[in-house]
Amino acid sequence: MNGQPTAQNNRETGCDGEYPGFRNFSNPAHMQELADLWNIDYIRVPHWNQPTHIENMLKFIADGSIEMFWINGTNPLVSLPNLPMVRELLTKESLFVIAQDIFPTETTAIADVVLPAAAWGEKIGCFTNVDRTVHLSKKAVEPPGEAKSDFEIFCDFAKRMGFRDKDGEPLISWTDPSEAFDAWKKLSKGRPCDYPGLTYEKLSGGSGIQWPCNDEFPYGKERLFDDGKFFTDIDYCESFGHDLETGAPYTKNQYKAIAPAGRAILKPCHYLPEMESVDDDYPLQLSTGRRPLHFHTRTKTGRTPRLQQADPEPYVQVSKEDARKYTISEGDQVLVESRRGKVQVGARVGLMALGQVFIPFHFGYFDAHDGKARAANELTRQQWDPVSKQPQLKSGAVRVTKIDPSDEAQLQAPELQTAAARAKEEHNTKQARRAGAKRGEEPTEKFLGYWLGATFASIETLRDI
């Protein structure tokens, strides 16, 4: 069940590391179909292994086998678990990081290259909701500055890289989003997410159309599986399934043994305890989650004044019983520590079960100025579900300690984001100077930054006066 608009179409098109149209990478016929549609050799479709999920990507960065990391439309330096580890990996001198986003974020701050992207309303394209309803989002205004749509950025990259099909023609032949949509309709034909009957014209002026949309259902189909047949035929299914406890993929013969054709498949699973339990050192169970006024890592909502003013800061919520036990009152500064990191936030008391604490995960550092660590994922762990590969970032074991009011000026949990960004910037500056020296260029001193900084400091001083 997808949580956000566009998450559904991302999965349909293969943005989760799988293949377009819910194709089964273990099915040679599916991979050959893709090769034919893309006009490339079958061997060029990498179908020999499981998709690489984010935690494995981080492992490969640590091992040195990933040397370039392109981050598009996400902010891992707030949203991924175990931020101390993620920060260390993404700021490795040997890793070249590209960040593509619509606003500056904690992740763009440590990137080697930032590609400014257009937001919705600044580009045209389709998105699909979890109920299969496809919508057309039209362009209303031009994107600011040098920002470009993701479509333009990726097409430009493909052109510069010279990607070709097996006949030597450009692999990406589309020149505008409508042509790309036509190509997607060919890819989706006959698959569960069947789009061939959809057009920009059909999608204009209404409230969306549900797939499948084809010759049989020219205006979409409201209800799936009303004939009692599911997408589980062995030659059609998107996967042969996995062992729910180990994540081991089933073979075609194992899948065939359950006679799956057209049947819904329900799998029982033994209860598995939390990967991290509370103990004497970390006696409280942490839950992280969302607030109604913020979205994800606040890249947009944190810049919306009314939303930000209504919900300006992170906090830890504790039960009344635990507050009495640890002598914590409403508004007290507290230190929350796990086996991985620590944060320093204000306390809220009540509306929690005994032994449970809650911290909203939205808050990072792009607008923080007090030097305190406050991102909930400084505390969380990076273990993942063996089947979905979803990190178990919503829970963990922590302890909470009240900070003595006389020590409030002293940082108990200093944030590490700023230092990481500065270290990355210094490394890039040194690299640029070395490259200039090789070209015989003299290093030049640039004073604009100093003057702008001094001007800003003067304005702040005058404001205080």
Query: What's the whole-number average pLDDT of the chain?
Result: 92
Q: Which pLDDT belongs to residue 430?
A: 82
Cα separation, 214 vs 211, whole angstroms? 8
Ordered alpha helix ranges (H), 204-278:
252-256
Digit-coded pLDDT (tens) for 350-378: 999 999 999 999 999 999 989 999 999 99
Q: Which pLDDT belongs to residue 74?
A: 95
Cα separation, 48 vs 286, whole angstroms? 39
Q: What is the percent of the chain where pLDDT is above 90?
A: 77
Q: Which pLDDT belongs to residue 445?
A: 56
Question: 192-205 burial by CB neighbour count: b if 16+ within 10 A, else e?
Answer: bbbbbbbbeebbee
Digit-coded pLDDT (tens) for 222-273: 999 999 999 999 999 999 999 999 999 999 999 999 999 899 999 898 998 8
Query: Does the structure show a pLDDT above 90 at 321?
Result: yes
- pTM exceeding the 0.85 threshold for the entire prediction: yes
The token duo for 461 is: 């001083």
Cα separation, 148 vs 153, whole angstroms? 6
pLDDT grade for 454, boundaries at 50, 70 and 90? low
* Angle of helix 28-38 versus helix 177-188 axis, rounded to 10: 150
Q: Which pLDDT belongs to residue 408?
A: 59
Q: Which pLDDT belongs to residue 2?
A: 78
440 or 348: which leads in pLDDT: 348
Task: Classify 6 as helix, strand or coil.
Answer: coil
Cα separation, 252 vs 241, whole angstroms? 9
Q: Which pLDDT belongs to residue 403?
A: 95
Of 425, 316, 339, nearest to 85 by C-alpha is 339
Q: Is 82 exposed, middle or buried (0-12, 13-18, 19+ CB in 10 A)?
A: buried
Q: Which pLDDT belongs to residue 465?
A: 63
The radius of gyration of the chain's CA atoms, rounded to the nearest angstrom, is 25
DSSP 369-436: -S-B---GGGT----B-TTT--B-TTEEEEEEEEPPGGGTTS-SSB--HHHHHHHHHHHHHHHHHHHH
Digit-coded pLDDT (tens) for 88-135: 999 999 999 999 999 999 999 999 999 999 999 999 999 999 999 999
